[in-house]
Structure 1
């Protein structure tokens, strides 16, 4: 998130937080690293991925499970237009569907830092459904213990 840092006797500076060191016992911040940015500077930053319409997705209604591969995505953005989050719409997604970065509508001027079409999430069948599918695929085998002889 882009912040305005005010220091007495100096002009306001736009910054983002790059790191926080914490006390190991009290978990209170002991040191913060900021990075100064100009409004039109392009930076790589991790943005949180949020999923909407999860309850209405056909795959979830059938008992499928949303498997999130990337809860955050590294994006190249303009410092003045850093999105709070990236939203993925699960409406119409069924069991077996995979959501790639190309399926997500990114804000103008925002692009992934990785060039390949990577997976963000998928809807997979619950283990109970997977187990029952495997059992039905098997054909029972009857073992012959003693074969009757034909009487001619």
Structure 2
């Protein structure tokens, strides 16, 4: 489980004007909601950018107020693509000892023999929703492609059990599939194999 810390400050100014001024000062306006009353804060933009090259829902973050702190997950964010910066953050406060629901990335590992034969690998989902205690939250869920042939797929129900973690997605949901090469079908492949066998018998 990945865990990071951010220094934050409470804020009592709201609206576009104050928010714009905060951003010009190198601060990101943010809000904390969840276990307690909503709290409006600012995050140091330089510190956040340095610690978070990518933003993920499954990283537990300790927000440090100086005399107080709380643990949160990033639930949403607003990004200014033109300026390449984060404009706003939504943090969800979690409670120790209480289960939470969040999304965890799916990472493909291994080598599919179907791809080596010319099949086309298609990943249908890149993350799954899980329910667990904060201490059991996995950084990622790995799906091994070894043994995945052309025309076959791996479903959520095929994921090996993870201690303390419940996967909320349907067991029948497809994670990854190896499609037949373009211009071929399962039927044509079987016909080609039958022709080869027949030729050998002659």
Shorter-normalised TM range:
0.7 to 0.9
User: Whose relative contact order is higher, 1 or 2, with alpha carbons under 8 Å and at least 6 apart?
Assistant: 1
Query: After superposition, what is the alpha-carbon deviation per residue over 1:94-135, rounded to whole angstroms, capped at 9, x for unaligned?
Result: 11111011111142121122344211111111104339939x
Query: What stretches of structure 1 of length at least 5 have no aligned partner?
Result: 138-152
Find the counterpart in structure 2 of residue 8 from structure 1: 66
> Residue 86 of structure 1 contacts residue 106 of structure 1 at CA under 8 Å; is this kept in 2?
no
Query: What stretches of structure 2 of length at least 5 have no aligned partner?
Result: 1-58, 193-202
> Residue 151 of structure 2 contacts residue 186 of structure 2 at CA under 8 Å; is this kept in 1?
no
Structure 1 stretches of 4+ moved >2 Å: 22-25, 114-117, 128-134
Report 1:17-28 matches (<5 A).
Answer: 17-28=74-85
In the alignment, which of 151, 173, 178 is matched to residue 118 of structure 1?
173
Q: From the CA coordinates, give the structure whose radius of gyration is larger.
A: 1
Query: After superposition, what is the alpha-carbon deviation per residue over 1:45-102, rounded to whole angstroms, capped at 9, x for unaligned?
Result: 1111111112xx2111101111111111111222222111110011111111110111
What is the aligned-residue RMSD (CA, Å)? 2.3
TM-score normalized by structure 1? 0.77
Structure having the higher helix fraction is: 2
Report 1:71-150 matches (<5 A).
Answer: 71-130=126-185, 133=188
Equivalent residues, number: 133
Separation in structure 2 between the aligned mates of residue 118 and residue 132 of structure 1, nearest angstrom: 25
TM-score normalized by structure 2? 0.59
Q: Residues 59 and 102 (structure 1 numbering): CA distance in 2 closer, same or farther, change over 3 Å?
A: same
